[in-house]
């Protein structure tokens, strides 16, 4: 038995935030049914590269789910969902505010069919407020929340973050957290709840230190100039002689002292509070004088919190991650191929059997079963 076995989730979402949230629920045992447009399905099915009939993005995010294709704008078609809604435990949607109401699927309407339903709406800015109807994507959300301003590169070389922070950490993960909290509450009260998940506002916890410094000490962070955003030699990226990068994070004094000894940094520069820019420049010179392999060997067995930045390909082959079974779960395609399923933050004991191939559903493959 997995923790969410027997739980029925109706997934009206597309692309990343909602499908990632329902993937976590599915991996923990929930029965997740995607509600999709007839003929086309959700947009991510058509991305590149392909993995069998659909995109590999879609396959990774929808492993183990089911699909029904139904025209929600057709009242007769939409009415066929009522029996599913009546026995569902969770509904996840990701439309702009007001869309589900126009379809007759808003919380007020469906909660009359099923008062125990937990209804989770994921949007950029939430269900109310001046920006509720503003269109946006991850970059807009982290920009509006101030997170992007902490480390966005130089004016002539702006840096786009490598992760979709608001989509996953501001949308998918808070959705799952609050769904699980609502399930616990329902076990006590017998009633469901509406959950308003705003991706933009849920990234504020990432800035706890910036908010604290600003509000308590009136020291508002500057772009790339703070302790963990590039302003300190103790938390910095340094290029090596062969074009790789050292991720140096010897924040604590004992690690910093070990690091300084290892790279032979001059004593007068080791007190980095005096002139951090000068220390950064000299450390960069020292690191750039040797190859990444040389530094990797020197870092081995030393308490200095330094590593060589891995490529995604290298990380997937890392013996540490593989030893922990991170890639033991299997995704299969409709043409018989397999690859490792997307690693998700669900404890191995709560997931499906490792090695058991699961696939993403074909569009409308489960219409007969559910409708």
CB 81 within 8 A of CB 35: yes
3-class secondary structure, 50: strand
**Does 366 qualify as catalytic in the annotation?**
no
Give the pair of three-digit tokens for residue 24.
Answer: 């976590």
Angle between helices 173-189 and 17-27 (to 10 degrees): 50
**Does 167 qualify as catalytic in the annotation?**
yes
Q: How far apart are CA 301 and CA 307, in angstroms?
A: 11
Q: How far apart are CA 41 and CA 317, in angstroms?
A: 34
Sequence-distant (≥ 6) Cβ neighbours of residue 345 within 8 angstroms: 24, 173
CB 101 within 8 A of CB 78: no
Give the pair of three-digit tokens for residue 92.
Answer: 């996840």
Angle CA 181–186–188, to nearest 5? 105
CB 333 within 8 A of CB 52: yes
Q: Which of 167, 236, 272, 329 is catalytic?
A: 167
Sign of CA dihedral 129, 131, 132, 133: positive
Q: Which of 137, 328, 334, 366 is catalytic?
A: 137
Q: How far apart are CA 46 and CA 278, in angstroms?
A: 50
State the catalytic residues. 137, 167
């Amino acid at each position: 038995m997995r923790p969410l076995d027997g739980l029925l989730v109706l997934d009206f979402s597309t692309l990343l935030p909602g499908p990632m949230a329902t993937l976590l629920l599915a991996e923990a045992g929930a029965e997740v049914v995607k509600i999709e447009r007839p003929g086309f399905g959700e947009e991510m099915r058509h991305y590149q590269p392909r993995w069998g009939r659909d995109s590999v993005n879609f396959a990774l995010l929808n492993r183990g789910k089911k699909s029904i294709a139904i025209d929600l704008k057709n009242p007769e078609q939409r009415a066929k969902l009522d029996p599913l809604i009546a026995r569902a435990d969770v509904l996840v949607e990701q439309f702009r505010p007001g869309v589900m109401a126009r379809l007759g699927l808003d919380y007020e309407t469906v909660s009359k069919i099923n008062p125990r339903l937990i209804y989770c709406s994921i949007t950029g800015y939430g269900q109310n407020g001046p920006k509720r109807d503003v269109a946006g994507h991850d970059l807009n959300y982290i920009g509006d929340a101030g997170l992007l301003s902490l480390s966005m590169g130089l004016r002539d070389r702006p840096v786009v973050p490598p992760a979709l922070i608001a989509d996953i950490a501001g949308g998918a993960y808070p959705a799952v957290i609050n769904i699980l909290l609502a399930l616990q509450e329902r076990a006590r009260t017998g009633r469901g709840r509406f959950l308003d998940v705003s991706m933009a506002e849920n990234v504020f916890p990432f800035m706890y230190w910036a908010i604290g410094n600003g509000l308590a000490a009136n020291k508002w962070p500057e772009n790339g100039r703070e302790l963990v955003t590039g302003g300190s030699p103790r938390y910095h990226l340094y290029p090596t002689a062969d074009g790789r990068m050292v991720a140096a994070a010897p924040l604590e004094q004992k690690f910093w002292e070990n690091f300084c000894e290892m790279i032979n940094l001059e004593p007068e520069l080791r007190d980095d509070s005096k002139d951090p820019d000068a220390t950064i420049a000299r450390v960069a010179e020292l690191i750039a004088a040797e190859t990444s392999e040389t530094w990797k060997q020197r870092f081995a067995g030393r308490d200095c919190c330094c590593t060589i930045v891995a490529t995604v390909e290298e990380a997937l082959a890392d013996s540490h991650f593989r030893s922990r079974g991170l890639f033991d779960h299997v995704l299969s395609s409709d043409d018989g191929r397999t690859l490792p399923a997307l690693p998700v933050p669900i404890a191995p004991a709560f997931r499906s059997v490792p090695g058991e191939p699961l696939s993403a559903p074909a569009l409308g493959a489960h219409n007969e079963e559910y409708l």
